[in-house]
Amino acid sequence: MVSAGRFAGALAAVALVEVLLGEALPAAANVVELIVLLVVLTSLRGNSLHGLTGGLAAGLVQDTLTASLFGLHTLACCVVGYAVARASQRILTNQRLVAGLLIAAGVMVHQVLVIGLLTVLDIADVDADVLFVLSRALLTSAAGLVYLWLAGRLREWVVRRRTLAARRVRSK
Amino acid sequence: MSERRVAILFGGVVVFLLALLTAQEPQRAGDLALWIEGPVKQFVGGVAENVDRVRQGRAARAEIERENVELRERVRELEARYAAGVGARLESDLVSKQLRYEPPPDADLLLADVVYVDHHSFRRTAILRLPPGARREDWSRKPVTTAEGLLGRVASSGGGYARVLLVTDRDSSVGAMVERTRRQGIIRGTSEPGVLSLMFLPLQVDVQPGDRVISAGIDGLFPRDIPIGTVTSVESDGDLFHAIGVVPSVDLGSLTHAYIWRRDPVPEGYMDGGDGVGR
């Protein structure tokens, strides 16, 4: 379970990265859905209420960063967060493959909702490229897996450092 | 918070966000509303139509069941009548055998369409269209009846048609009798359309309004016991006979079909010197 403060910090960091990437490497920012990744990762470790509120907050930030209709990404992120949280209560998400699949599914659901709402509301001419959506899901999923691997390694390193420090204290 | 409450909250958030999105695009919101409303209305309309159809089907079924009960009752009644008729026929055959009575051979009836009727003019006639197989025969002087009773006799035939002199024509005369008393007289047409006159019944004969008049079978043309009409008025005609008004049993205003009896009349030569009955 992720605390609200840590989630807020992570969301702020992701928003900053999104902005910087959008300025420096717009193509990369367009390919990886960092905010959706954050929503899915948060929902994997929390209950459905955390998924819903996390999706709501992340979606509001994404709506603020983008120029589309206000509420569009909020709705999509809410659905993704709630659905992933409900799914994580029914299946084991400790394995990285399952987590990667949930991330990919979350990105695809997010994309389908955004494109579907834009089409139904006729706000913009949306070129629904299936390959682009799939590649976006795969790359975001890959980024998520890298993050999970790095986080795991970091956790192991921290544990190892703490163990060594404790031994030194005992030997003295 | 329970999962159910979270689910309700999630539904509320989704609805709120959808409302927020559509509120920003009112034109598209209307289209979206129509897009959702159309199938819903179609579904509701379909359900209502099916319910109406089922209701109508049930009403029709109730009507059919009621009609079926009536028809079964009618069939039972007709079966009872048929059984009574068969019984009467057997009884009649038995009595005929005891009395050594031989009825005349059964007449062969020919069904013909009525294509013309004139029962108001000076000559009261009807024209029948003969079926194809019967057009070469001579149908003159053959009796013509309907399901209700005597219609008249064929005056002439040819070209696939037969002209019928109606029983109400003033030149028509038929040997008749009062069914109740079996007293015989002659039925003739009168100047008044649709009224017959039963003649030559003496004053001492009991005749009352409502008595049925049937053919007597004494004129050489018409078979016995065919209904002709009902007595409507009885008055004295001079010193000897009743003046009896009779209304025909055949409704001349609703003729569609008639039966011509393929029955040989008594040759005309045999009736010379008679009083004109049957001519």
**For residue B225, what are the CA distances in angstroms to A12, B60, B189, B221, B259?**
117, 45, 19, 13, 16
Phi, psi of B144 (to 5 degrees): -130, 130
Q: How many CB atoms lie within 10 A of CB B216?
A: 24
Residue B151 has pLDDT above 90, yes or no: yes
Paired with B110 in beta bridges are: B260
Averaged pLDDT for residues A42-69: 85
Q: Which residue has the higher pLDDT, A68 or B106?
A: A68
Report d(CA B125, CA B171) in Å as an integer: 11
Cβ within 8 Å of residue A59, ≥6 positions away: A35, A39, A73, A74, A75, A76, A77, A78
Q: Which residue matches tokens 């018409």?
A: B222
Q: Kindly state the average pLDDT of the residues B162-185.
A: 93
Res B159: pLDDT: 87
Could you write out the DSSP letters of every residue in B93-107?
Answer: HHHHHHHT--PPPPP
B20 Cβ under 8 Å from any chain A Cβ: yes
In this prediction, residue B142 carries a pLDDT of 92
CA B204 distance to own-chain centroid: 38
The pLDDT value recorded for residue A117 is 82
Residues of A in contact with B25 (CB under 8 A): 69, 121-123
More confident residue, A99 or B49: B49
Local confidence band at B30 (pLDDT 50, 70, 90 cut-offs): low
User: To the nearest whole number, what is the mean pLDDT of chain A?
Assistant: 84
Helix (H) or strand (E) holding B174: strand B173-178
| Residue B253, token pair as written in the block | 């205003």
Q: How far is CA B209 from the centre of its chain?
A: 26
- Is B28 within 8 Å of chain A by CB? yes
pLDDT band at B279 (very low <50, low <70, confident <90, very high): very low
Residue B213, H or E segment: strand B212-215
pLDDT of residue A19: 83
Q: CA-CA distance, B10 to B4, in Å (whole number)?
A: 10
Query: Does B275 have pLDDT greater than 60?
Result: no
- For residue B164, pLDDT over 80 is answered with yes
Residue recorded with tokens 């005891």: B98
d(CA B131, CA B242): 42
- Closest Cα in chain B to A53: B10
ipTM here = 0.79
Chain B hits for A69, Cβ within 8 Å: 21, 24-25
B248 pLDDT band, cuts 50/70/90, is very high
The Cα A163–Cα A160 span in angstroms is: 5
Q: Which one has a higher pLDDT value, A167 or B274?
A: A167
**Predicted local confidence at residue B237, as pLDDT:** 65
Contact criterion met (CB < 8 Å) for B10 and A78:
yes
Q: Is the pLDDT of residue B26 over 80?
A: no
Lowest mean pLDDT among B15-24, B29-38, B145-154: B29-38
Q: Check A78 against B13: CB less than 8 A apart.
A: yes
pLDDT of residue B278: 47
The two three-digit tokens of residue B138, written as one number: 């001579």
Q: pLDDT confidence of A2, banded at 50, 70, 90?
A: low
Segment B91-102 mean pLDDT:
84
Q: How far is residue A41's CA from residue A20's CA, in Å, rounded to a whole number?
A: 22
- Cα–Cα distance for residue pair B93/A61, rounded to 1 Å: 111
Q: Which range among A17-31, A72-86, A91-105, A110-124 has the greatest average pLDDT?
A: A72-86
Residue of B nearest to A76 (CA): B14
Q: What is the pLDDT of residues A108-158, one digit of tens each?
A: 898 888 888 888 776 666 666 788 888 888 888 888 888 888 988 998 899
| Chain B residues touching residue A117 (CB < 8 angstroms) | 21
Does the pLDDT of residue B224 top 50, yes or no?
yes
Listed residue (B240, B144, B145, B123) closest to B189, CA to CA: B123
- pLDDT value at residue B33: 67
Instruction: Determine the Cα–Cα distance for residues A58 and A52; give it in Å rounded to an integer.
Output: 10
Instruction: Please give the pLDDT value at position B75.
Output: 96
Q: Quick count: other Cβ atoms within 10 Å of Cβ B271? A: 17
For residues B63-98, one letter each, b for 16 or more C-beta atoms within 10 angstroms of the residue's C-beta and e for the rest, the string is eeeeeeeeeeeeeeeeeeeeeeeeeeeeeeeeeeee
**HSE-up (13 A, CA, CB side) for residue A44:** 22
Q: Average pLDDT in the B100-117 region?
A: 79
What's the rounded Cα separation, in Å, for the pair B173 and B176? Answer: 9
Q: Percent of chain A at pLDDT above 70?
A: 94
For A12, other C-beta atoms within 10 Å of its C-beta total: 11
Confidence bin at B113 (pLDDT 50/70/90): very high
Strand ranges (DSSP E) for B16-171? 108-118, 125-129, 143-145, 150-158, 161-166
Interchain contact, A122 vs B35, CB within 8 Å: no
Q: Does A69 touch chain B (CB under 8 A)?
A: yes
Cross-chain Cβ contact B6/A48 below 8 Å: yes
Closest CA to A153 of A96, A91, A89: A96
User: Is the pLDDT score of B106 beyond 80?
Assistant: no
Contacts of A78 in chain B (CB under 8 A): 10, 13-14, 17
More confident residue, B174 or A27: B174
Report how far residue B265's alpha carbon sits from residue B269's, in angstroms, rounded to the nearest whole number.
Answer: 11
How many other C-beta atoms lie within 10 A of the C-beta of residue B239? Answer: 6
Helix (H) or strand (E) segment spanning residue B66: helix B26-99
Residue contact A56–B20, C-beta within 8 A: no
**Among the ranges given (A75-79, B80-84, B168-172, B261-265), the one the predictor scored with the smallest mean pLDDT:** B261-265
State how far the Cα of B168 lies from the Cα of B143, in Å rounded to an integer: 14
Nearest-by-Cβ selection for A78 from B1, B7, B14: B14
Which one has a higher pLDDT value, B77 or A88?
Answer: B77
Say whether B10 and A121 touch across the interface (CB within 8 A).
Answer: no
Are the beta carbons of A72 and B9 separated by less than 8 Å?
Answer: no
Query: Residue B129: left (phi > 0), alpha (psi -120 to 50), or beta?
Result: beta
